[in-house]
Chains A and B, each alone.
Chain A
Amino acid sequence: MDLDPVRISLMGLPGVAVLWALTLAAFGVFGFRAWQLIGLLLKARPENRFDQPGKRVLYFARHVLLQPRLFNERSIGLPHFLIFWGFVVYVVCFNWSLVRGLAPALPAPYPDEVGVAAFFLDVFSVAVIVSLGAAVVRRVFFPPAHLHLSWDANLILTLIGILMLTTLFGAGFRLVGEGKTWSGWTPFGSMAAAAFAKMPVESAHGWAKGMWWMHMVTVLFFLVYLPYSKHLHLLASPFNVFFGNLRPAGDLGIAGGSEEMAAGSTKWSEFTWKQLLSGFSCAECGRCDRACPAATAGFPLEPQQLVQKLKKHIIGAGLAKNGNGSPKLIGETITEDEIWACTTCMSCMERCAVLNEQLPIIIQLRRHLVTEGQMAKTVQDALNNFNRYGNSFGKSDRMRAKWTQPLGWKVKDARKEPVEYLWFVGDYASFDPRLEEITRKTANTFKAGGVDFGLLYEGERNAGNDVRRIGEEGLFEMLRDKNLQAMAKAKFKTIVTTDPHAFNTLKNEYKFEDDSVTVVHYTELLDQLVQEGKLQVARKVAGKVTYHDPCYLGRYNNIYEPARRVLKAVGAELVEMPRSFNRSYCCGAGGGRIWMEDVEGVKERPSESRVREAAALGVTTLVVACPKDSVMFQDALKTAGLEGKLAIKDVIDLVEEATRPS
């Protein structure tokens, strides 16, 4: 009995010929589309993501094959994992089946004629159907916020379902056609066979072939539809991961990038190919939107939408005959308010399942606005102050070390005598009157711990972290160069700073020659002093406290434990907030937001949401490790009506209290 599905006649044509025609048509359309999209990438700006191939293979294996990022949302992690691996099995078997069908002369069996392959197809068909069920239930009954509920997604789930059912029933009809009722290779197919046990053998043959054809045609249709749908992510994201960012997340520099990137991007061809690939890779899952403090607070930014808009623009403007007539990217597709709403907290990139890099895209858009001089007056004033005085407060650089005067002892000038630690104080800790006391406590504690440290005094400028994230690249370079010049006059081994923003850019973007300089956050130094016994706890601090992970320390630089160890060492009872560690919630001040006004429609400022979260734990104190957090949360206490109910303290407040000599 001949079960070969291509040995049939379809409308008078031999099955093989029909299969050839369908295959050529489907691969032709697919190839054309792929060629179009790759053509766009080739016209974009350069970026070197071809270094460290070995590391990239491992990175690919981890994030594509194991998908830990998918599991950051439990309801869909396992279903997606099974659907993905089912896809891999089915892709292999489809191609095998297709080649065998196109070349009947090949002395090879079909995959479902080989026990092991049939087994995998059988098991995965059911695993995938169950997973699809979970996906549909999630979509219909428990859709998470910001999940894009498109027809596109439903159609794709249906198509996948058809593929699974045709395989399952195909196996069943095949068994009936072979006069069997059970095969250990296809346990689920056997169950299907049982349902059709009474079917005549001839009919079973027909149905088995019908299932094969339906399966093949569905896959070929899928092939055509895929690059036009959200499932483009399936093609693009493996490459997106392979060419992912292996440099520190806190470095906005582009390896092998062109100089014109500094002036920003306002149309698709002005982004790097990797940035465009982000657009193709987005799976519309909404993880970034759900993590985004701007979106949650009601600002007009949703990172997923922004990336989708970019994708729409790339394809719309990029494939249009002359690019004219398609809406402008900035202003018409993406609004200025969206672009400025980002706090650069890194949550979107931390959560993205396809490892997209949303932030550099937003910065490119900002750079264009800065080049055009389009920004809020308050931001402009801050930039002008940075340019003239080196700080956002518009105070004279000569006043930078004024906070040291009430100390009663002289802090070393690192430019005049060698020190082990150069303390890069940062603007807020230096100039904000609300923070001076904290800064002095830091100085006294360093001194008590025997730290040999000094300052750059008026030679210090703002480190430029936020200036760079506002998009003022030239000003960032100017500030960095001035700091490097001042540092060149000083002798030190390590830079310590209390400001995570300064910490990030000093550590990742200053590019000290031969890595001769180490940069540490003060929580790391305090941790070390406590561990080494140089800071002795004289009295334990009492009470339940919670700790806020600063974005630029945690997500950007993966430093979570030192502050926690210090807090425990001084006797505090540490309780974690629901949003902690890499899921920490931004205070809303980053990326220059601290110099911008709120826009209308904001439901709850990120800082207020955060102090409410802390207060709900029943703790006495919200402990911070960032000068901007101190300021933001102090303000939020007032607006959230929590004054007197929750205290905001810096890590140093507790350490100083515990270690101060009596």
Chain B
Amino acid sequence: MDILVLMKVVPDVVEELEVGSDGKSLDTGFLRTILNERDDHALEQALLLKDKHGGKVTLLTLDAPDIDDVLFTALAKGADRAVKICGAGSVSSTQMAARLFGETIAKTPGLLPVDLVLTGVSAIDDLDGLLAAPIAQKLGWPYAGVVTQATLADKTATVVKEFAGGVRGEYDVPTPAVLGIQAAEKPPRYVPVAKVRAAMKSQTIESVDAPAVEAAAGVEVQQMAKPRVTGHAEMLEGSADEVADKLCELLAKRGLL
């Protein structure tokens, strides 16, 4: 049971985000990136399946600053092989990313066959979840998204999707298939720094050249801006009595008293 995990990094929103000088993109000077959280879950789900069924877990990512740390961490957790797609520059459009992944999987010798391709169902820069389905289409495989559990049997993956109101759906998907992972069955595992360092010494990251893909037509960013302040909360300060007085005054002014 071999699994391919697609991972990408997204802007880390812990850091202050700044709009770039073009007014249409993030200022990359200040930007720091972090592994997409749902991709981390996809990796965990792949590792859980590997723990259960054996097989190999291969990581495929788009090259980015700090991506090596992400890949070595994943290798330290138990992935077997890491490949990054180089030369595509900074890919900000999900459609482009989907094409790059799809072409690379289809054309790079040695990546296929696999039983499953797992990736995060969405990302903070891809709330619609437009990455996995086009890849499935390109490969001609079935796709299931928003998956929270997956088990593998011969030629079939059984996946669970969670819906609103506590409703769960269980689906049988013929493999090979592409799954968009919402959450792994367990929280992503911790890997100690020492193991990551050991992986850096003992393992290598392979590179493949980015395939030539057509520029994606479609949605174009017109403007990017920080939310404008339209109103603010007023804090009533002073002693309890003073606050009560001010409150009464306010309510009276609005005709509520």
Contact = CB atoms under 8 A, between A and B. Distances in A.
Interface of A: 262-263, 370-371, 373, 375, 377, 380, 383-384, 387-389, 394-396, 398, 472-475, 477-478
B194 A377 contact: no
A473 B187 contact: no
Given A380-B187, A474-B197, A395 B14 contact: yes
Given A377-B187, A380-B187, A388-B34, A477 B14 contact: no
B190 A396 contact: no
Nearest to A371: B192
A145 to B, nearest CB: 36
A505 B194 CA distance: 20
A474 B190 contact: no
Contacts of A396: 14-16
Nearest to A385: B14
A384 B190 contact: yes
B193 A373 contact: no
Contact of A474 (B14, B16, B189, B194): B194
A376 to B, nearest CB: 10
A375 B190 CA distance: 8
A482 to B, nearest CB: 12
A270 to B, nearest CB: 15
A477 B193 contact: yes
Contact of B191 (A373, A389, A473): A373
A472 B187 contact: no
A370 B14 contact: no
Nearest to A472: B192
Interface of B: 14-16, 34, 187, 189-197
Nearest to A379: B190
A370 B192 contact: yes
B195 A371 contact: yes
B16 A383 contact: no
A394 B195 contact: no
Given A394-B14, A395-B14, A396-B14, A478 B193 contact: yes
B15 A373 contact: no
A370 B190 contact: yes
Given A388-B34, A389-B14, A395-B14, A263 B189 contact: no
B194 A263 contact: yes
A396 B15 CA distance: 6
B9 to A, nearest CB: 12
A319 B34 CA distance: 50
29 contacts: A262-B194, A263-B194, A370-B190, A370-B192, A371-B192, A371-B195, A373-B190, A373-B191, A373-B192, A380-B187, A380-B190, A383-B190, A387-B193, A389-B14, A394-B14, A395-B14, A396-B15, A396-B16, A398-B15, A398-B16, A472-B192, A473-B192, A473-B194, A474-B192, A474-B194, A474-B195, A475-B192, A475-B193, A478-B193
A473 B197 CA distance: 12
A473 B194 CA distance: 8
A472 B193 CA distance: 8
A262 B14 CA distance: 31
B142 to A, nearest CB: 33
Nearest to B13: A396
A51 B137 CA distance: 70
A435 B18 CA distance: 29
Given A377-B187, A474-B192, A474-B196, 5 more contacts: A370-B192, A380-B190, A394-B14, A396-B15, A474-B194
B227 to A, nearest CB: 19
B34 A474 contact: no
Contacts of A383: 190
Contacts of A263: 194
B21 to A, nearest CB: 20
Contacts of B195: 371, 474
A478 B195 CA distance: 13
Contacts of A262: 194
B69 to A, nearest CB: 10
Contacts of B191: 373
A373 B187 CA distance: 11
Nearest to B189: A373
Contacts of A472: 192-193
B39 to A, nearest CB: 15
B193 to A, nearest CB: 3
Nearest to A383: B190
Contacts of A387: 193
Contacts of B190: 370, 373, 375, 380, 383-384
Nearest to A477: B193
Nearest to A374: B190
A387 B66 CA distance: 14
A373 B189 CA distance: 6
A375 B34 CA distance: 23
A51 to B, nearest CB: 27
Nearest to B30: A398
B71 to A, nearest CB: 16
A394 B15 CA distance: 10
Nearest to A475: B193
B72 to A, nearest CB: 13
